[in-house]
Amino acid sequence: MSEFQRPLSLGYHTDLALRLHEGGSCEVLELAELGRVVRITTPSNPTFWWGNFLLMPRPPRPGELTAWLEAFQQAHPQARHVTFGLDTTDGEGGAEQEFLNAGFSLHCDTVLTTSQTLPPRTLNTDLKFRPLDATQDADWLAALALRMAVNAADPEPHEAAGYQSFAARKLEAARAAQQRGRGAMFGAFDPTGQMYSGLGVFSADAANQAGGVTRYQNVETHPEARSLGLAGTLVHRAGEWARTHLHAQTLVIVADPAYHAQRLYERAGFRPTEIQTGWERSPQE
């Protein structure tokens, strides 16, 4: 095992910081054929594909598929999925046809950054926008209900019972990180306590210090409350909170370029910085 170094990719740098906040671990493995590989594990959430993966130091080369599959099996012997991140910034997938033929899909997301968010043209004032209270179970149950509603509205939703356990573990980990002062989950609440939009902002640095990098995650809005300006208002409010409470100077958010959310983030002041690339294969039947 070698000393862990910050990834070249800003996307994976912030991803790995989040996994550590959630109780996961990052370990560098020196593999003779493949180089310095980072093993990421999240024992508290073993079905979390991107909490249990290998980070490649470069795009895979032709003829390396078998070696990578063996490396993943040794690193994550209980996993049914297979996931590889690529520590690159340009979207290069490497030996693409070889991986596609083996049942993998290539994901290329846009990493966007800003030093300060812009308020939406019309701030939503109908709901209360605030951090979740780490001492109040009701806030976190509301966040879980929102996540389940968003998942149910997905064109290809995850299986409900399994997804609920996964989502609950993710929120428990975020709650613990918030209690340690590493960031906060935010929500847009009505007077009854129902949560209609939510997101998280967490520091990606060892300490909350000037020059810090802060990552957004899980920006979501209830399917019955879309197009009301909730996400835009929440992104701005959370960004201002992070600049004050986390000393954030670089705010990072990751988006699927084929989804409308990237345009929302650009209206909030974010600009594309790099491409985050990963290979994933769902559990085999």
**CA-CA distance, 21 to 126, in Å (whole number)?**
33
Q: Along the chain (285 residues), what's the average pLDDT of each consecutive run of 10 residues? A: 71 95 93 93 92 96 97 96 96 95 97 96 91 98 97 74 89 96 97 97 72 91 93 96 95 94 96 97 85
- Asked if 202 contacts 215 with a C-beta cutoff of 8 angstroms, the reply is yes
What local confidence, expressed as pLDDT, does residue 280 receive?
Answer: 97
What local confidence, expressed as pLDDT, does residue 285 receive?
Answer: 64
- Asked if 66 contacts 33 with a C-beta cutoff of 8 angstroms, the reply is no
What local confidence, expressed as pLDDT, does residue 122 receive?
Answer: 83
Question: Residues 74-102: pLDDT tens digits?
Answer: 999 999 999 999 999 999 999 999 999 99
- For the chain, give every domain's residue range: 10-109, 128-268
Residue 61 CB-density burial (10 A; 0-12 exposed, 13-18 middle, 19+ buried): middle
Question: Residues 172-222: pLDDT tens digits?
Answer: 999 999 999 999 999 999 999 999 999 999 999 765 444 589 999 999 999
What local confidence, expressed as pLDDT, does residue 115 receive?
Answer: 97
163: its two tokens: 């997804």
What local confidence, expressed as pLDDT, does residue 259 receive?
Answer: 87
Query: Please, what is the average pLDDT of the chain?
Result: 92
Which residue has tokens 């520590």? Answer: 87
- In single-letter form, the type of residue at position 285 comes to E
In DSSP terms, 221 is beta-bridged to 197
128-268 homologous superfamily: Gcn5-related N-acetyltransferase (GNAT) (3.40.630.30)
Check residue 50 and report its DSSP letter: G
Q: CB within 8 A of 134, min separation 6: which ones? A: 175, 178, 179
11: its two tokens: 């996307």
What local confidence, expressed as pLDDT, does residue 152 receive?
Answer: 87
- Asked if 265 contacts 235 with a C-beta cutoff of 8 angstroms, the reply is yes
